[in-house]
Structure 1
Amino acid sequence: MMADALLRGLGQPVFSWGGGGNLVAASNVRDRYLATLRAADQGDYELRLAFVRS
C-alpha cells in the first residue's frame, strides 16, 4: 500500500501486484507472491520486481 501511495504521489502507475489477484486466499497468485518474498529474503529481488508489474 505504501509503495502504491508513493508511486501515485510521484505521478507514476501503481503496481499491479500479480494482476490484482487475492494475496490472502490460497491461489497461484499468492504462491507466486510468497515465492518472491522468499527470494527477496535471500537477496534476489528480480522475481519481486517482475511480480509487482505483472
Structure 2
Amino acid sequence: MREPGEARRTATPAHGWLRRIGWLVLIWAASVAAVAAVAAVLRVVMRSVGLAP
C-alpha cells in the first residue's frame, strides 16, 4: 500500500508522443493563422488610407 504523499508512477503510453506532436502542430497552425489574420487586417487598413496599391 502506498503512503498518502507518495507520487504514483504511470507508464507513458505509446501514443503519448503523438499527442505532443499533435499539440505542437495545432499551436503552430494557430499561430500561423493569427499572423495571417493580422496581415490581412493591416493590408485592409493600408489600402483604405492609400498606402498600398
TM-score (norm 1): 0.31
Q: Which has the larger radius of gyration?
A: 2
Give the structure, 1 or 2, with the largest relative contact order (CA under 8 Å, sep 6 or more).
Answer: 1
Higher relative helix content: 2
